[in-house]
Chains A and B, each alone.
Chain A
Amino acid sequence: MAAHAHKLEIFRGLIKFKSNTQKIWGVLLLLSIITAVEVVLGIYKPASLMTPSMSPFEGGFGALLGNIIFSGFIYTKSLNLIFIVLTIIKAYYITWDFMHMRDETKSLRRLVAWTVVFLICYLVFILLQEGGYIESVYTNGYVKRDF
């Protein structure tokens, strides 16, 4: 089955495995390490990571744009940002190596990945924005909840 030639390098060619089986175990090792890091961080919760790493910009329209672009650093705790980034890395390796996306044509890769990425970003942005707005109404809008 020569048609099933696998691309055997990960990390943009930094590591090249000898066989597909070896690549699978290598990716498993990577995913296990990432999960272990997540679990250890989740248990110990280092105090230095429990606050956002940047404070919001003050001022006019430029500050607003800055706050939107850097929203991950300004409004999310560093620890949570690390978790989300590690999750996306794990998702990448599961899709690319376990689901063999790496061996598909470029058009199929883009067809699947960009569609999903675009729609999810859209959905998440709208719902989280709205949730934050409702929270501000609850907090500042004379809605009593402490009873």
Chain B
Amino acid sequence: MKSIDERLADSNPVAQGYVPATYDQMLTRAMRQARTADPVWKTFRLRMAGSVAAASALTVLGVSALNGAGAVLPVLGFQASAGHAGAAPTAATKYQGVGAPGAMMMPIMLNYTFNGASSLSTTPGSAPVYTLNAPGDLAATLTGVIKALGVTLDKTPSPSTNPSINYVVNGTKYSASIYASNGSDYWSIYTMPAGVAGVSGTTGAVGVAVPPVTSSTPPVAGATGSTGSSGSAGSTGATGSTGATGVATSGGATGATGVSGATGPVAATGSLATQALGYVQALGDTPGSATQTTGGTTNTIINVPLLINGSPSDMSDTFTFNSDGTLQNASGNVFTLSEGATYPLISPAAGVDQIAAQEKLLRSLSGFGGPIAYSGVATTTPSVTSPGAVPQSLSAPAAVKMAASTSGPSGASGATGVTGPTGATGSTGSAGATGSTGSTGSTGSTGATGPTTTVAPLGVPTPTTFKAKNDAGVAGPSGASGSTGTTTTTLPAATVVDLTTATLGYAAYDMKSGWMELPVYHYTGTVVKGGYQASFSVVPLASQYLDFATNTNPIPLGAR
């Protein structure tokens, strides 16, 4: 972050001295007193009036004047680049908007018709842009992250031999790493499992009899030794295994109970959400509304978007908790922001017209901005938004249980766990279909070559020719010859999307001046006849402030 004095100095519009081109003539005129002041004022006055009128459209050295507002805003030039690894997909973002972890992210080709723009706001706005700066000292940053997460630092970060990681720590209770990534640093930490039970103690030594004493008196039995101290209780035995599934009462064999799938992200609530928000604040960031994903049956994954100027950004922190609430692993972005100028934004309604124009450009430039379509349900509106309930101090994460226990005192073996409850009776299996498999039909004859079909994709001026291949005939019914295969070549029709929402956020783009977080409208809608939802992003700055000239590698239509 630059100091005030540095920013003031940076505002200097003329860094170098200036000598008029006609300097020698000026000196001659001055010494001859060839000019009087009045003509100077006259020409100055005339030029000044004209220049002020033209100033609104002036672009000098990449600085464009904003008409009528008296402000000068830099033109933001995009740099052709690969994706922003700093916002690498986390577990939660991989699952975002997906009904199940295995659901497929489907890129959609660029052939859209959008409905619903008229229902969106027509009010223009404004928003600042930010320069994204990664912290300079990666080792110190990683140390700070570890401490913020409440983990005792028992080793210091050291340079990694892995070229994709800058610093790594392999502590006794955790491992952690960090790497610089396009304007931000990406950190991750994995904590070790809870400590093992202490070693059982030995029983106290039995007392030794005192040897007889030579005496005229009868020998006296030695005193009994004191009993050794009792060992402390051993660890609790493991819970008994679940009882076997009951046998079906009738019918066929009981079908196996399906494994519970992971749930989609929902609003994160409860102590784990509070804990996650506390971590984000301890890391110095502003948390957004957390979402929660259940991974299998034991882990809870909480994703917390990081806010920029009060709006969610494309950067986030993710925390995975064990079933007992201990932190298992975490990852996220660390960065600093330098606020730049505030730009006028077109309205969300007007931004719809920019989707098709920007989608291809932004995705090819920096990996963001294009449509992502997904099956499943929409992300549930998160509800955990009250940072006030979140502990502020770094000591807040102390509730994390991750310390390994030291060797404990002597202890007896724990009790064996009780047998688990008997499993519920399975549902009756459905009757299997009876019938033997029919004989296999002979292979059909090879189909005739299909006709060549030429179909011009919508919006592409030059028709694309597709050569149909020879299809093998499908297997015919038993004994009969297969029918001749048919050839059908189709291109996707325009995808109609009913837009439903538009929200303001921030996303990272690789600019000529470095990585920046730019305001973004995120549109979501329903694909008509598709049964799934799609989202689109647009940088809603007026076009005169955006320069895509370096976009030298656009992605062809339909190539993704």
A binds B: no
Interface residues of B (CB under 8 A from A): none
Interface residues of A (CB under 8 A from B): none
